[in-house]
Amino acid sequence: MRAFVFNTYKSPLHEAQVPEPTVGERDVLVQVLAAGVNQLDEKIREGEFKAILPYKTPLTLGHDVAGTVISVGHKVTGFKPGDQVYARPRDHRIGTFAERIAINEADLALAPTTISAVEAASLPLVALTAWQALVVRGNVKPGQKVLIHAGAGGVGSITIQLAKHLGAHVATTASGKNADFVRELGADEVIDYRTQDFEKELSGYDLVLDSLGGENLEKSLRILRPEGKAIGISGPPDPAFAKKSGMNPVLRLAISALSSKIRRQAKKLGVSYEFLFMDASGDQLRQIAELIDNGTLRPVVGQTFPFHETPQALEALAKGGIRGKAVITVP
């Protein structure tokens, strides 16, 4: 079947013929209708995560999918051929830039019924990231103050909506041209990162979701209230992540060193830092689908690309400037 792969880290993404997926007893074989494009795809291709997420190459990329069930493994009970589904396949089972993919049933959910396959494909990774940051890790309550960086992007555009649904006061950083857009999503305060310094504008926040790292993350710690929390999705990874991932002691020590500076800064300020590398979850996708179908959340698709332009989609995302998500459509 047709798929888009890279042969070695940093080498270009290109079309290739790959074997048909192997369908295990708990797997669901899905005909791909659309696949979301994520920054994670480019970071994996560039080798940025190979220490914590090693893959053998050649590798088919793609972390988001919406499609139609073709067949199911003999122990699958929750899905049947013809079902419209969406998923973020678990790590080491990715590969949605392809015509078909086998997905563990635990990672899969019926797609929202009120949106298109393209819109559904834009959601899994970013919506699960938002859910796990705000609901699971952040335990956000009504009246709390939440700062979401890069509000016009894929993760930001969904996280703003979810934070507003949870009753938070929401601030976000965005360019001036996207200010009205993020306000429409629910942002109460918009900081133009090109002309304003969010550290000088904001204070007393309960939670920050940081997607940029570096100096931006350090400044984010300083706008938190005592015992507030910064959650980073671009790193650096922390010891809790290393332990959860089952890394060997040497690698766990190395991972701990990567985040030691930011964790020391957080402790000195009386706040905390956590690294979030989202988990696949069909159960959470089912809850997200309900929020989509009742109008609480809406997907934001900024640009679509035909399947044969998958490398161009990845390049466009890396350049920035796309509102919400880029999505590939598969014939």
- Both 100 and 184 in a single domain? no
Q: Which domain range does residue 242 map to? A: 125-275
Q: Cα-atom radius of gyration of the chain, to the nearest Å?
A: 19
Average pLDDT over residues 40-67: 93
Element (H, E) at 27: strand 27-37
What local confidence, expressed as pLDDT, does residue 164 receive?
Answer: 98
Task: Decide if 194 is inside a domain.
Answer: yes
Evaluate whether residue 144 is within a structural domain.
yes
Same domain? 228 vs 312 = no
According to the model, what pLDDT value does residue 320 have? Answer: 85
| Same domain assignment for residues 195 and 234 | yes
Q: Residue 108 corresponds to which tokens in the numbers above?
A: 């899969």
What is the pLDDT, as a whole number, of residue 53?
A: 86
- Whether 288 is in a domain gets the answer no
Buried b (16+ CB within 10 A) or exposed e, 202-234: beebbbbbbbbbeebbbbbbebbeeebbbbbbb
Q: Do 54 and 38 reside in the same domain of the chain?
A: yes
pLDDT at 50: 86
Residues 109 and 11 both lie in one domain: yes
Name the pLDDT band for 193 (thresholds 50, 70, 90).
Answer: very high
Helix axes 124-131, 154-165, angle to 10 degrees: 40
Residue 109 belongs to a domain: yes
Contact status, residue 206 vs residue 225, Cβ threshold 8 Å: yes
User: Considering only 48-62, 221-235, 241-255, which range has the smallest mean pLDDT?
Assistant: 241-255
Q: Is residue 182 part of a domain?
A: yes
266 assigned to some structural domain: yes
Supply φ then ψ for residue 62, to 5 degrees: 120, 120
Residues 227 and 197 in one domain: yes
Per-residue model confidence (pLDDT) at position 117: 98
Residues 102 and 156 both lie in one domain: no
Which pLDDT score, from 0 to 100, does residue 77 have?
95
Same domain as 257, residue 158: yes
Please report, for the domain that includes residue 93, its CATH number: 3.90.180.10
Q: Are residues 28 and 66 in the same domain?
A: yes
* Residue in 170, 126, 128 with CA at minimum distance from that of residue 147: 170
Read off the pLDDT of residues 275-305 as tens digits, 9 standing for 90 and up: 999 999 999 999 999 999 999 999 999 999 9
Q: State whether 101 and 164 are in the same domain.
A: no
The model's pTM is 0.96
State whether 214 and 150 are in the same domain. Answer: yes
State the total domains in the chain: 2
Same domain, 144 and 269: yes
Judged against a pLDDT cut of 90, whether residue 254 lies above it is answered with: no
Domain for residue 81, yes or no?
yes
CATH number at residue 244: 3.40.50.720
Q: Which amino acid, residue 308?
A: H
**Per-residue pLDDT reduced to its tens digit, 83-94:** 999 999 999 999
Q: Cis (ω within 30 of 0) for the bond into 237?
A: no
Domain assignment present for 280:
no
Average pLDDT over residues 182-195: 98
